[in-house]
Amino acid sequence: MSNTEAEIRIKLQALYVEHRDLDEVIIRLSSDPTMDQLRLKRLKKKKLNLKDMITRLENELIPDDIA
């Protein structure tokens, strides 16, 4: 099942927001010396997974060129 360009852009927008929000949480929690490092590591991994999802969707928007 292929996503339309509009559907991909909607998903991308939601992922951008989630990624940005997670980044803000990580920055805030990183400055707290009592923060659980395992939780912080999990949040960073989730952020990386979001970035991977964003990259995959962005690549779907790039048209295939015939060489």
DSSP-derived secondary structure letter, 62? S
Number of domains in the chain: 1
Q: For residue 67, is pLDDT > 60? A: no
18 found inside a domain: yes
Residue 46 belongs to some domain of the structure: yes
Q: Is the pTM of this model over 0.85?
A: no
Confidence (pLDDT) at 46? 98
Model pLDDT for residues 40-65, shown as the tens digit of each residue: 999 999 999 999 999 999 999 888 77
Q: 67 lies in a domain?
A: no
pLDDT-derived band at 2, boundaries 50, 70, 90: low
- CA 13 remoteness from chain centre: 10
Whether residue 66 lies inside any domain: the answer is no
How far apart CA 41 and CA 47 sit, in angstroms, is 10
